[in-house]
Amino acid sequence: MRVHITGASGSGTSTLGAALAAERSMRHLDADGYYWLPTTPPFQTKRDPADRLALLRRDLLSGGDVVLSGSIVGWGAELEDAFDLIVFLYLPAALRVQRLRQREIEHLGQADEAFLRWAAQYDEGPPEGRSLARHQAWLAQRACPVLRLQADESVAQRLDLVRRAWPSQAIRPGA
């Protein structure tokens, strides 16, 4: 089974992806690991689009159950319909930016204000990258079921909703 968890930066895609993968013994992939080259500090240099797609394709389609968190909109067209379920997370901008600021300070020692301004524009549509309108249009074209979670719920509550959204033979409680 392949599950893609997507949404705005700060909505919890990586957190839910890691939790679902751990609970179900699935591999967890994060789109940022393919989109960005490893740098210190992170997220400074984009990977060549053909290379990122080839790497993700290899890892996503190599067999076994996998959860992909993040977004492949705009660069992963070849893989967009390779999922059995897509989970879309949405939270209000103020909450997302608060979470991002806290995460950046915890992990990097400071927040990147330019990144936070970019992330805050998600609902209105930043000039590049993720936007609510772009995600909504992309989701409308998908062939698999889409579960939309649009509340500030705990990871446990979100996991429960994911379990209920998929047939029991695909995600078995306690499996």
pLDDT (average), residues 3-8: 96
State both tokens at 27.
């591999």
Alpha-carbon distance 95 to 97, whole Å? 6
- A 10 A CB-CB count for 103 gives 15
Predicted confidence band at 42 (pLDDT cuts at 50, 70, 90)?
confident
End-to-end CA distance of the chain: 13
Residue ranges with strand state E in 70-161: 85-89, 146-149
pLDDT value, residue 119: 92
Alpha-carbon distance 110 to 73, whole Å? 28
pLDDT (average), residues 95-102: 97
The set of residues, in sequence order, having a beta carbon less than 8 Å from that of 142 and lying 6+ positions away, is 80, 81, 83, 86
Per-residue pLDDT at 157 exceeds 60 = yes
pTM: 0.91
Residue 5 vs residues 19, 38, 105: alpha-carbon distances, Å: 11, 22, 24
Window from 16-25, 125-134, 139-148 with minimum mean pLDDT: 125-134
pLDDT value, residue 59: 96
State both tokens at 24.
């179900």
The set of residues, in sequence order, having a beta carbon less than 8 Å from that of 113 and lying 6+ positions away, is none
Predicted confidence band at 126 (pLDDT cuts at 50, 70, 90)?
low
DSSP lists the bridge partners of residue 88 as 6, 148
pLDDT (average), residues 86-94: 97
**What is the enclosing helix (H) or strand (E) of 27?**
strand 27-30
Alpha-carbon distance 84 to 5, whole Å? 11
